[in-house]
Amino acid sequence: MRTFTDGHVYIFTFKDPTRLLSPIAHDLRLRCRRFEITLDEGRVRGWFDPESIEVDGPVREGRVDVGAFGKLERSKILSGMRKDVLRTRRHREVRFVGTHADGRVKGGLTLVGRTADIDFAVRAEGARMAGRVELKPSHWGIKPYKALLGTLVLEDRVVIEFDLGGRT
């Protein structure tokens, strides 16, 4: 059995470029600080604390600008995410239960009280596990986030990148 509590779990969100205010909006990189993932004889269990998500910064031309946002802007982003998207007062955790075989992980991800199947590739590199999965939040009943009367909207797409057991 291997349990991972270190490394990184990044969450990328994307602005809808077709909306009026998309030029002032940002693609974002968020980071989940508290998680635990256990691999045990082909089984995978994951727990993620949505309250531990932090804003790293906007992504511009493939790079994260960690100094772009001040405390107030980060707080506004997190408040909207927790209240309107993940509804963390009611849904205190995110869970995954599945299997791992031949470089693939398959199973059910429970998010905002709903479970949907996901399937993605992973790479084992020594004591590390890394991978990437694209999610469609609407599969969990999450509507794309809107602000400013719908002139700013996020895409119905989130990318999770993880590198477990590595440096944070």
Predicted confidence band of residue 167 (pLDDT cuts 50, 70, 90): very low
Average pLDDT value for residue range 98-106: 96
What confidence score (pLDDT) does residue 23 get? 52
Alpha helices in 69-147 (DSSP H): 71-80
Please tell me whether residue 1 adopts helix, strand or coil conformation.
coil
Contacts 24+ apart (CB under 8 A), 123-129: 127/165, 128/7, 128/163, 128/164, 128/165, 128/166, 129/4, 129/37, 129/39, 129/162, 129/163, 129/164, 129/165
Judged against a pLDDT cut of 90, whether residue 163 lies above it is answered with yes
Domains and CATH numbers, the chain: 2-164 (2.40.128.110)
Query: Do the beta carbons of residue 166 and residue 7 sit within 8 Å?
Result: yes
- What confidence score (pLDDT) does residue 168 get? 37
Q: How far apart are CA 119 and CA 69, in angstroms?
A: 34
Q: pLDDT by residue (tens digit) across 13-62?
A: 998 766 555 555 689 999 999 999 999 999 999 999 999 999 999 998 88
pLDDT band at 84 (very low <50, low <70, confident <90, very high): confident
Over residues 115-122, the mean pLDDT reads 97
Task: State the Cα–Cα distance between residues 113 and 66, nearest whole angstrom.
Answer: 31
The alpha carbon dihedral of 97, 98, 99, 102 has a sign of negative
Average pLDDT, rounded, for the chain: 89
Residue 165 in this model has a pLDDT that exceeds 50: yes
**CA-CA distance, 109 to 142, in Å (whole number)?**
14
Tokens coding 115: 């479970």
